[in-house]
Amino acid sequence: MPLQVLCYERADDVGFGVSGVVTRARAIKESFPDLDPAEIPMSAPVSDEKVLYLLDPGGASRRSTALRCADACIKAFSGLLPFKDYALELPWTPDFLHKGDGVLLSMGQFMQWVSARVQSAGTVQIWPGTPVSEALIDAGEVKGVRLIDQGVDKQGRPAEGFMPGMDIQAALTVVGDGPVGPIGQQIDRAFGMPEGHHMRDWAVGMKFVVDLPEDTGLKPGFVLHTFGYPEPEIFGFMYVHPDRIASLGIFVPSWFDSPVRTAYTYLQHWMLHPGLWQHLKGAKLRSWGAKTLGESGRRGEPHLAGNGYARIGEGSGTTNVLTGSGVDEAWISGVQLAEAVVELLKDKKPFTRENLEQTYVRRRRQSWLDEEARVAEKSRDGFQKGVVYGMIGMALAGLTKGRLTLGGHPLRPHERVPTLEKYYAGRIRAAEIEQLRKECHIKGTSLHAALMHRVGWRGIPYDGKLLMSHQDALLLGGKVQAPPGYADHVVFLYPELCEKCGTRICIELCSGQAITPGESGVPAFDREKCVHCGACMWNCSQAHPEDAERMNISFRAGTGGLHSAEN
């Protein structure tokens, strides 16, 4: 039988993922030597790069004493510095951050372009709208996958039109389901992680695709990165595509010790910063999305291969947190596995752990992917001790190629989430927090908005174009899809832990307002609002009673999500 590659994708179409994207595209260009950005909608060569340090224009951002001193110095010498609109343009950025010879892409458009090419060869079939529910593991070997059950109720019990998920047998199962993929998690639980490896560093990236104002001065290929605001821990980006379209967004990391890590609200404050608003005033939202990033890099690398299976992409620890790059790294891991498969097929060797180690893993270890991952491995550890320490640590690691780093032991996210009372100590009394909690519960409004307002964050001046309520954004274009007949993919594992949970961070951070207080103390999940970002899973503040690396939310295989082919 000739080689056949079947690719099951849970989303309703290829290219419904969420990413930036600016990439040096070294591996992508090797795969497509004649790559012409003009052929791919929304892509452009990188033309100009800037990094801005954003100061706090409103006084509500939670800044350390060190950062306040730095801000005061910048303001005092502002006449001598490239400082305007509360933003300092860095006069120099290290090489490891540059994407100079790279391209800007829309992940959705690029994936559609790629899928047309790979499927035209006949060997590859891509099946969108087909979530995989589990790997078939037998006697330590992965034998294939089981697709998700259809015609079930929210709890997964057979209902009208029940159709059990089909079993697909395969000589090799390739797991590339991203940082929060259920199959990767199942395999990690079944085979464990390599000694000392763990996935403890995460971020949620939320992105808007916008039409810039007609008189915009920004040119296609322009790349802007920001740090410092709305909270020092939050990084931002804006990339300008052709036709006045821009991608912009923020990353909210797991080491941001806040129980109100709400990406949607923070993204609106970020856009309103004078340094960005000068470009965004008059802009219009086209689409948006959110997705988790696995930020443990090489330290989060699982066993890359075993009998009958191999891991590729971000779920295999490819994302480089020093260079801020994940797409090209995920891509090359897939190419390396494909080359290994061809080699093993030619040699008529089976897909055993040993053979995959000698072909796929060997290629990976000898490539720039692994070399750069080693440089980046400890580069962000300093953030465990604070933002300034973290920035110095990153610069040190980058400039010394990973030889010098600033330490800090990565904690599990649930070990970092303080209670609301502790986080707001000295600013809001515990009794007032309790009062706000009750009021918000009665009104059905979010607690984080009330708390942020209370410590000085101004209200968002909704304009119905770019600045709109979370609910309105969810309704934009009717893009959240949740076909009936599938089980809920977000499950609160131990309701008794939720009942006594002090932070309820899952409700506050939810990227789609899909998690609400619920009755009897256990949150309620509404699949019709879930954008499938996966952030609730790693943000949950309570540890799984049997496995401290897991939390009290299970993020399972599921359909639907917030779909845009532009993200």
Ligand X SMILES: Cc1cc2nc3c(=O)[nH]c(=O)nc-3n(C[C@H](O)[C@H](O)[C@H](O)COP(=O)(O)OP(=O)(O)OC[C@H]3O[C@@H](n4cnc5c(N)ncnc54)[C@H](O)[C@@H]3O)c2cc1C
**Which chain residues interact with ligand SF4 by CB under 6 A?**
490, 492, 497-498, 501, 503-506, 510-512, 514-515, 523, 530-536, 540-542, 552-553
Closest CA to 20 of 224, 183, 306: 224
Q: Which does 285 bind (CB under 5 to 8 A by kind): ligand X, ligand SF4, none?
A: none
C-alpha–C-alpha distance, residues 537 and 530, integer Å: 13
Closest CB to ligand X among residues 181, 390: 181
Residue 554 sits at the vertex; the CA angle it makes with 482 and 163, to the nearest 5 degrees, is 50
Closest CB to ligand SF4 among residues 103, 514: 514
Q: Which of residues 7-46 bind ligand X (CB under 6 A)?
A: 8-11, 17-23
CB atoms within 10 A of CB 66: 13
Minimum CB–partner distance for residue 239 and ligand SF4 (Å): 23
Q: Per-residue string for binding with ligand X, 150-189, x by CB under 6 A? A: --------------------------xxx--xxx------
Are residues 273 and 467 in contact, defined by beta-carbon separation less than 8 angstroms? no
- Residue 519's Cβ-count burial label (10 Å; 0-12, 13-18, 19+) is exposed
Tokens representing 412 are 């599990």
User: Is position 108 an interface residue for ligand X (rule: CB under 6 A)?
Assistant: no
Q: Give the strand order in the sheet containing 235-240.
A: 83-84, 87-89, 48-54, 222-227, 235-240, 245-253, 202-211, 284-294
Closest CB to ligand X among residues 127, 494: 127
As a whole number of Å, the CA-based R_g of the chain is 23
Q: Write the CA distances from 437 to 264, 266, 404, 431, integer angstroms.
A: 20, 20, 45, 10
C-alpha–C-alpha distance, residues 72 and 31, integer Å: 49
Tokens representing 490 are 């977000």
Tokens representing 148 are 């998700």
User: Is position 319 an interface residue for ligand X (rule: CB under 6 A)?
Assistant: yes
Name the residue with the smallest CB distance to ligand X.
326
Q: Which of residues 330-349 bind ligand X (CB under 6 A)?
A: 330
Q: Which of residues 532-561 bind ligand X (CB under 6 A)?
A: 557
Q: Find the binder of ligand X among 165, 306, 326, 398 (CB under 6 A).
A: 326
Minimum CB–partner distance for residue 521 and ligand X (Å): 30
Choices 6-14, 254-262, 357-365, 514-522 (CB under 6 A): range interacting with ligand X: 6-14
Closest CB to ligand SF4 among residues 268, 542: 542
Q: Which does 533 bind (CB under 5 to 8 A by kind): ligand X, ligand SF4, none?
A: ligand SF4
Q: Find the binder of ligand X among 224, 245, 327, 466 (CB under 6 A).
A: 327
Closest CB to ligand SF4 among residues 379, 541: 541
Helix (H, G, I), strand (E, B) or coil at 545: coil
Closest CB to ligand SF4 among residues 200, 279: 200
What phi and psi values does residue 517 have, to the nearest 5 degrees? -55, -35
C-alpha–C-alpha distance, residues 75 and 86, integer Å: 9
Are residues 250 and 267 in contact, defined by beta-carbon separation less than 8 angstroms? yes
Strand partners, 291: 205
Quick one: angle between helices 387-399 and 65-76, nearest 10? 80
CB atoms within 10 A of CB 156: 15
Are residues 485 and 150 in contact, defined by beta-carbon separation less than 8 angstroms? yes
Q: Which does 256 bind (CB under 5 to 8 A by kind): ligand SF4, ligand X, none?
A: none
User: Is position 523 an interface residue for ligand X (rule: CB under 6 A)?
Assistant: no
Q: Which does 314 bind (CB under 5 to 8 A by kind): ligand X, ligand SF4, none?
A: ligand X
Closest CB to ligand X among residues 182, 386: 182
Minimum CB–partner distance for residue 523 and ligand SF4 (Å): 5
Closest CB to ligand X among residues 325, 481: 325
Residue type, 550: R
User: Is position 293 an interface residue for ligand X (rule: CB under 6 A)?
Assistant: yes
Closest CB to ligand SF4 among residues 232, 512: 512
Minimum CB–partner distance for residue 475 and ligand X (Å): 21
Q: Which does 317 bind (CB under 5 to 8 A by kind): ligand X, ligand SF4, none?
A: none
Closest CB to ligand X among residues 130, 503: 130
Minimum CB–partner distance for residue 563 and ligand SF4 (Å): 13
Closest CA to 105 of 164, 62, 42, 179: 42
Q: Which does 372 bind (CB under 5 to 8 A by kind): ligand X, ligand SF4, none?
A: none
CB atoms within 10 A of CB 108: 26
Q: Find the binder of ligand X among 46, 52, 88, 132 (CB under 6 A).
A: 132
Closest CA to 504 of 197, 261, 152: 261
Q: Find the binder of ligand X among 37, 41, 108, 131 (CB under 6 A).
A: 131
C-alpha–C-alpha distance, residues 282 and 107, integer Å: 25
Helix (H, G, I), strand (E, B) or coil at 152: strand
Q: Which does 304 bind (CB under 5 to 8 A by kind): ligand X, ligand SF4, none?
A: none
C-alpha–C-alpha distance, residues 134 and 67, integer Å: 47
Choices 312-320, 347-355, 384-392, 537-545 (CB under 6 A): range interacting with ligand X: 312-320
Q: Which of residues 191-220 bind ligand X (CB under 6 A)?
A: 205, 207
Strand partners, 551: 543
Positions touching ligand X (CB under 6 A) are 8-11, 17-23, 131-132, 176-178, 181-183, 205, 207, 249, 291, 293, 313-314, 319, 325-328, 330, 557
